[in-house]
Structure 1
């Protein structure tokens, strides 16, 4: 990465020199003048009021960012601009649609709009979504806790709505309160009148003086015209390309000139924080050496990006900083814990370690890539030990996902590299910036190389003593005022480490260097070649997957748009999206290395099927692949079926397991080259593959598009409903087959659809979407509270009660506070813990128990005396391993056990053994899906007594369940 930055600076210098020569040639008449048409073309541009973008300086005098950009464009095309005034953006769009204007600017891309209008090939600027308030608002920038309580205003047609909801969801706000308005002026009036607390819009719509409290979804914007206006669009595309090459800085200059004053991220401190700043004159900041370029020591003084950031924050808040060097992370942790330091400028504590020692981690202020380093010519399959630093050990374990590779921790990244150099470890995983610095500046590491840049990165943060929550809040807020571009500028301008290191080396070893000058010259040449090779490797990774030998999405889109689609004639093209069913489960069971081998096998098989200059394949994210294919070699659906069959058979031959492959197909319209949208459509098609589809193939057609729209409407409905008003709890009884007495029940949630007169919808209608948005956790606790209320009411009236089991999404089990929240609800309603069971699916155990948080949560529940129930036992791969991992009070046998009649005698023996094992462990067996008398007879034969299924009871409303429960007493 750093080598790439240096190459970039060199290229900028060469470009400047070449431009200077060209300018001289033009002025001397050496270069030919640009040939232009004699007659100018009049181009009509829709002009709508937008502060900063379109403004009137007087009658008929136009100004603003768009006006100046068009003036610059006219230097490269023979145009006269005529502005057509209108009221707002929607009116401008209609002018273009009616052919009364040729162009309108500031259009963000959307597939819906692209279906009706023609977009320029290149953007003419950039913008982003914003959340803004009035100047007198007390809301701080990105204060997400406060945002949970406010009302947001939004224009109904806002194109970045989904990105806004994703931005809030990523920061803990699953269901924001939103009011919609017909126009931007209505929205601005609503903010002024106090109808909403904040508006959500495009950055360029913010008024002077309004304050930003959030930014999201940076996007380019374009000029658009109506379909068929090819002459204007051709001139426009050529002019924008010339402008970007000759005046690349223009867009940023215009943005800063017309909009910089709107970038107000004013920090709003709480009263406690203000008191802290008033009382605290100096904060003590600790630093470690050798964490270049963020913090390091030079000439006995702390240097680096982190120091510059903290010095800037100190100037902003009026604090002064006392810098204190610490020798290692342990000393830093102790000093923070003893209040000898206020801040550790570079956090080297793992998340769990910080929590255990009551330290507060500040929000990450920059992301750095993680790299994988080995000795040259080391085969990845031969790696047995991986060296890393302590605070990356959990991430290393997660990324390699294999129990065969041993992770060894060391104090510093340099210690890790030394371990590989001294053959104490086979590979290193650590910070990419620091690693490349060490590899390029230390001759000792000449035979080490960066093998790959990992897909996951490392967030750089600071640590604050737990006794200073006010300081933590101040730092979190002020760090957000630092523009990401400032960090990039520092990285570009200050990374001169190689020259400095070589200079120090020469100064310290001048006599030796003079004696062996030729040898040193050769070594320097080898090191330079090594750096260039690594830099090329990183650049190469832009178009190659970082883990297997196949192109990535960037490669497919570039190749498709530049080389394949422009050359098509009568051929039909389609994008096919490939998904490996249950790949994550396979990887958990058989290990990370075997998962990688499976992906490599699929990539190899796919490369054999997708051939010729008119087709290309690539790997998307995770376990997904994409390929662009034509019908030149046969009908596409038929070829896709053959490819799927070939791949599944090839997988079975190589690994001995049946792995299903799913494929979604999207046929690209003849006049379109929008591969990103095509990939999105093909991937959406996979979501609609039904279980009864033997081909596991779905084509994106009009019917599917209608289904997607219906799902979107359903999701809009689910976003708007209230849990307490629109959801109810049903109960399915568990019955003793010997006495037919109700001995328990499972609480199930149902949705009362307000758009269908309160029709009852089963979980398939809402659970998948709520799991994506995180709202399923609220649903789960709603069901728990309903069950507790019902139990409390019956206990108070002396009526019979039974144990109720409640299902909880896997999301809960990676949250450290779940066990506490669960116990608080039981205590609130005074419910004995033996009356509530927490149901856990076998899938959760197999896939999530690798996570320490999930295991810790289950251990915490068990320690608190909460009953645990394993659901779907026997539906997965390794059922007996579940009993070992979880001390369950109840084991629910999956219906597949009851249905397996191929070898009944053998099946009965297995089930008897499971029942006996459960009895020995003090666990209860419950048979799920009991529907027939034959099922009951089989239960009695194996010794199981408790049944749940339609043979005895369907899920019913709370009233109906209570009525039957009361009757069972009589």
Structure 2
């Protein structure tokens, strides 16, 4: 044997107040050394002679495995490191050397294990005897002499140690505290520790043995090596290794010889490397499992392995430096690097501690978001935007409630957690938080006013996931922005959650619905006031869900507008319109077109940024050999607020390709009359809201008349949507409106119904021709 390192005693003068800390540091260093020194063959592991050895199961054993796929195994929940129960991510887990070795053996046979907790070995023996369990793990050395049981072969052996408080015991006949050893085991130990020289006192378990040693009720504690490493801090005790060993076997009923044979063969398949890894992992796992940050623990372990070979003074300095690094890392994890505010991780941790003892609706979350902050970054630069965020964060921290928990949740979204109060006070609080115009004078132009969106969620279930709570608060805020809410603070409601769930369901089903032809094109006929005949229709999308029935567009189109799926729907509608027109073109008796039609379809704003839009439209049109003059592209008035330069450019491309263009829902939004002189529109569609009080409301009548007159001067046709009464139809005709569309004439109908209506009016006799007015 070659000595490669000798560590001698070194004296360190310490103050009384420093001894406790030094003892803790050295305890960790010593434990790491002990665990890593386990892997050499100081203890006998009874490993198989070759890793390539294979267990040959007999036919009888194979049948037993098939007939008993699940075995019940006892385990002690509180006997680390052999077997114990811990929690990982909130779920109970069975751990320990005995359990891990048995699991490894079971995997090699195809058996499954079901663990049954027991309080004592006697309880396990009782369960084994009445067949409630198949295998008794536990401290089987203590039952070796019991009858009615058999044992597997030795799975591992470990040495016993004498542990004492003092290096030298002056007693002539020192007492030894012992637990859980059968008579045969005691006889073996007494040969090494003669009864004439040592007195033995027996205790219930290892904890009682160490407690007796700590209280000086005995001179020595007799424990195996694993208990020795697991239970006490090495620097406080002295240890002496004995030649006697604890040999672990698994106990079975005396009629389970076949199972014993199977397990012995399975244990023989466990390689030395596997066995060493299992024992080492369970020793280190049990020792360090409860530390809060696993990666910090790994870092400390590796660091302690290095500083073990340094002088102790250098080791102490290293530990101090590591502590500083850890604090820095924790600070980075818990505090936002830019603003210094708590991060979402720390926020959730702090909020969860408060909510553990909270009542429903006792607390609330406020979500605060800067409107159009991307514009600030794009216009003034990210460095300026960061300065604004820092100033806002300081303002929020200075103006928050005393016990309010705040964090920067993401880029420009801030979350506040506080006791619930009256809504009027919430609005006041948000006003104070967002009253920042004077503070931001150095960072923004004089006339630029930074605005905010705010919402509040009252925490009705304190135990729910905090991320879900924040999502609900943000959901209310986004809902307010999408619906142009005018309130300063929006309260979360269950309907918003229902809307979110509906949107999720729609998103998950939309592609499958498209593939299964669940989207249907309906046609609402349009009538000419001048000729009193059908001149075309508007193509509308419907979703025919097999479970929910026919869904109107307002149930899914707004979502499709946001997620981009509307582009596929628009092209599907356009393809259907072209196919219908192609069929109608040849529907006459002589194969000619019975009556010219113009069918309009809606084009979403999403297409404005598609460089291949015109190419795609013309490709579909050419496939059906349809002239573009029979197709009208409808753009909603709200689209006028997109990039106007791009809008006009795309409209000119559509116009040059031969399509006519209509402005849908004119008058419903923030219309720009000045824009009408620049856009190449052919048709203005009056929003149906204009007709709600016509002809009773003289002001609305005047507005409609003016729009119609303006349209004629701009060489545009006018279409009145939502015509529902004879009086409305007569008034519009008298005003000079060109085209009528509404339930007074016809509701949206299927393609087949629209085709039948056209055939009745233009292919068959003129009976039943529609009169207008």
TM-score (norm 1): 0.40
Structure with more contact order per residue of length (Cα contacts < 8 Å, sep ≥ 6): 2
Q: Which has the larger radius of gyration?
A: 2
